[in-house]
A and B are shown apart, each in its own frame.
Chain A
Amino acid sequence: MARRVAICAAAQIRNEANIWYQRFQGMLLECFESLVDQTGLTFDMETGVRNVVTCSDDVFDARTISDNGMTDVVGAHYRGEEKMAQDGLNGLGYAMAAIMSGHDDLVLLLGHCKESQSESRHMCTNLAFEPFFTRPLGLDFLSAGGLQARAYMTRAGLTEDHLAEVVVRSRRQAAANPFARENAAVTHQEVAASPLLADPLRELHFYPVTDWAVGMLLCCEERVHEFTDKPVWLTGFGSSMDSYFLGERDLAFSTALQQAAQRAFKMAGGVDARDVDLFELNDAAAYQMPLWAEGIGLVPPGDGARWLDAGGPDRHQVNRSGGMLNGNPLMLGGLARALEAFYQLRGEADDRQADGLKRALAHGTTGPAGQHHAVLIMEN
């Protein structure tokens, strides 16, 4: 059996609406310096970091090989660097493999994204649709979300009230997160009255435009003690790709998420959602929290509304960070989820801290209406 992998340290800047005052390089350098400070890591070819996994996206960065501008600030000069062009949670899964394979002892992971840079992030996500049919229709991740929301809400009996409650809770949780995007607390009425963007999705039902950067140090079992006395073990990872055209999928239940979760659970020793104490689900829109909760097997299919009514999110300790809904950029949502789980498992989650945690689940999505899902199981 391959050696275990742990996250030893993490760093982030604050999620913000528009980091106009820094380039990506400046954003990442803060994370880089913090990680070096915390762990004393070096880049020695024998004993230090010699491989860096970055997470970014060419279209959002408007730059071919967007990691090319980052090589220096991530410490990858004359070292390896591999760029994840998917939700960053996949970067953690890949970093696990790099260490478990024996190729590397340490992997530094750094991700950045500025949704504020392009004229409209919807123009960017529209480009994920193929040029002949779906792109000219004007589909983007928002409208795809609208289609999925309607399908799911019909199946699970979710109402606008449920959506509003999810949003209100998200803001409340995020208020206790010093790195969360600073948003005003909102009332149910304010959510219900926010402009309709893609029926049934209103402005406040969808995550706001956000800029962010984050970094983590991963290490093999034999050497974690060099960097931390509170390692968070990555015990399971799974991902899955759904079909492409929205009409070919069951938008009201994600089989891809179910598969990803099942594979992650299996790798973690044959556990399931009942063995998990804390969940961070990547909810880009309010309807997604219950939908993804069903996908991972926490909630029976179709029971999302009932689960919300019964106070499920609080009871099951879901999205204590505020979730993606409060604001993380596309591409980094899953990393924000893993980051929260990391702090929670180390007892470093400030006023959001939950008790008695042994195992957490972090989730990331890529593509419209969750075409690709990644699930990570983490333990202390």
Chain B
Amino acid sequence: MTTYFGVDVADVIETMPSRFRKEAAAGISGRFGYDLGEAGRWRLAVRDGDAALAPAEDLDDCLAVVATDPQTFVGIQLGKIDATEAMALQKLTVAGDRGAFGSITRLFQKYLPPGEEALPDTELVVLKQTISVGQTFATGPVMGRFLKGLKQKKILAMRCPVCGRLQSPPREICAVCRVRNTEWVEVGPKGEMRMLEYVYYASPDPLTGETRETPYGAIGVLLDGCRDEEVFWHLLNPAQLDRVQMGSVIDGQVRHGSRLRPVWAENRTGSIDDIQYFELDD
């Protein structure tokens, strides 16, 4: 086998089981494939804190398969190549459950080339912490009434007394006119889809730390009774992501988007989740 960055790729691969950190592997199991081009194909089986690595031609049974060339593989192990960069340049691809693959990359001790196993002179101190400060968010009378409306399966908006625009969720003030909103109007609950964000990469919710399953759709719905920009932002039934159509207005020509209706949660508490998502109204 050949060397990259002065390191024999075979050594990197063969030391994987010995570098595996059993103590960090609790709850992780599955098969993960490594397709390393001319350095061969390997299957890593993780179970009950143990890891076994073996050559394997067929990686179809793997939860996720990483494919890359040996140079990129070694470069990433040594910290000389940035993994995200490699992904952006398509020099490294992950097929299958990317999230699961991400979790196992952290289970290996850093590869140190033979002769460098001793710790470097300068050890950089890094402190890892999750910081959590509990909050009690007020809703105030405006958002409060809106959320109460959701409990009753109503979508409420407020109308500006000067320009007449509707906002849902409502705001205390119309930003454009700089006057307090005063009138409540019920809108929808059905409407047409005007914008779809087809999300492949989800952000962790900073309140809960949880990450939404992808792909999912964040949508702007023009609810019945609203017009122009007055869209309502929520989620789409993820199973219908590929069936919906975005509406548009181009040079005065209106093309209507898919007609949607909200799917209400059984147990409503006065929160954004009282609407599970919107789905096609067919």
Q: Which residues of A approach B to under 8 Å, CB–CB?
A: 19-23, 25-26, 29, 32-33, 36, 43, 59, 62, 71-73, 75, 77, 114, 116-120, 123-124, 127, 131-132
Contact residue among B136, B138, B172, B176 (Cβ-Cβ distance under 8 Å from A73): B172
Q: How far is the CB of A66 from chain B (nearest CB, A)?
A: 12
Taking A59-B133, A131-B127 as known contacts, 6 extra A-B pairs with beta carbons closer than 8 A to each other, sorted by chain A number, are A19-B138, A22-B141, A23-B139, A25-B140, A25-B172, A77-B178
Top 7 nearest A-B pairs (CB, nearest first) are A119-B134, A72-B175, A23-B140, A77-B175, A26-B140, A25-B172, A62-B135
By secondary structure, the B interface counts as: loop
Contact residue among A23, A75, A127, A131 (Cβ-Cβ distance under 8 Å from B138): A23
Report the interface size for chain B: residues with CB under 8 A from the other chain: 23
Q: In chain B, what residue has the closest Cβ to A64? A: B206
- Is B155 close to A, CB under 8 A? no
For the complex, give the distance between the alpha carbons of A118 and B134 in Å: 6
Q: How far is the CB of B130 from chain A (nearest CB, A)?
A: 12
- Is B267 close to A, CB under 8 A? no
Interface 0/1 of B5-34, CB less than 8 Å to A: 000000000000000000000000000000
**CB-based contact A75/B178 at 8 Å:** yes
For the complex, give the distance between the alpha carbons of A21 and B137 in Å: 10
Q: Which residues of B approach A to under 8 Å, CB–CB?
A: 125, 127, 129, 131, 133-143, 171-176, 178, 180
User: Which residues of chain A are within 8 angstroms of B137 by Cβ–Cβ distance?
Assistant: 23, 62, 117
**CB-based contact B138/A22 at 8 Å:** yes
For the complex, give the distance between the alpha carbons of A29 and B135 in Å: 22
By secondary structure, the A interface counts as: loop
Contact residue among B133, B143, B174, B175 (Cβ-Cβ distance under 8 Å from A124): B133
Q: In chain A, what residue has the closest Cβ to B137? A: A117
User: Which residues of chain A are within 8 angstroms of B173 by Cβ–Cβ distance?
Assistant: 25, 29, 32, 72-73
**CB-based contact A131/B141 at 8 Å:** no
Q: How far is the CB of A340 from chain B (nearest CB, A)?
A: 27
Q: Known contacts A20-B138, A21-B141, A119-B134; is A26 also within 8 Å of B172 by CB?
A: yes
**CB-based contact A23/B143 at 8 Å:** yes
**CB-based contact A22/B175 at 8 Å:** no
Contact residue among A19, A29, A117, A132 (Cβ-Cβ distance under 8 Å from B172): A29
For the complex, give the distance between the alpha carbons of A314 and B275 in Å: 60
For the complex, give the distance between the alpha carbons of A72 and B173 in Å: 7
User: Which residues of chain B are within 8 angstroms of A75 by Cβ–Cβ distance?
Assistant: 178
**CB-based contact B131/A127 at 8 Å:** yes
Q: How far is the CB of A22 from chain B (nearest CB, A)?
A: 5
User: Which residues of chain B are within 8 angstroms of A119 by Cβ–Cβ distance?
Assistant: 133-136
Can you list 11 residue pairs at the A/B interface with Cβ under 8 Å? A20-B138, A22-B140, A25-B142, A29-B172, A29-B173, A77-B176, A116-B136, A117-B136, A117-B138, A131-B127, A132-B127
Q: In chain A, what residue has the closest Cβ to B143? A: A23
User: Which residues of chain A are within 8 angstroms of B140 by Cβ–Cβ distance?
Assistant: 21-23, 25-26
User: Which residues of chain B are within 8 angstroms of A22 by Cβ–Cβ distance?
Assistant: 138, 140-141
Q: How far is the CB of A376 from chain B (nearest CB, A)?
A: 28
Q: How far is the CB of B207 from chain A (nearest CB, A)?
A: 9
User: Which residues of chain B are within 8 angstroms of A132 by Cβ–Cβ distance?
Assistant: 125, 127
**CB-based contact A131/B129 at 8 Å:** yes
User: Which residues of chain B are within 8 angstroms of A25 by Cβ–Cβ distance?
Assistant: 140, 142, 171-173
For the complex, give the distance between the alpha carbons of A72 and B172 in Å: 9
For the complex, give the distance between the alpha carbons of A77 and B133 in Å: 31
User: Which residues of chain A are within 8 angstroms of B138 by Cβ–Cβ distance?
Assistant: 19-23, 114, 117
For the complex, give the distance between the alpha carbons of A79 and B210 in Å: 36
For the complex, give the distance between the alpha carbons of A92 and B171 in Å: 28
Q: In chain B, what residue has the closest Cβ to A127? A: B131
Q: Known contacts A77-B175, A131-B127; is A26 also within 8 Å of B141 by CB?
A: yes
For the complex, give the distance between the alpha carbons of A19 and B139 in Å: 11
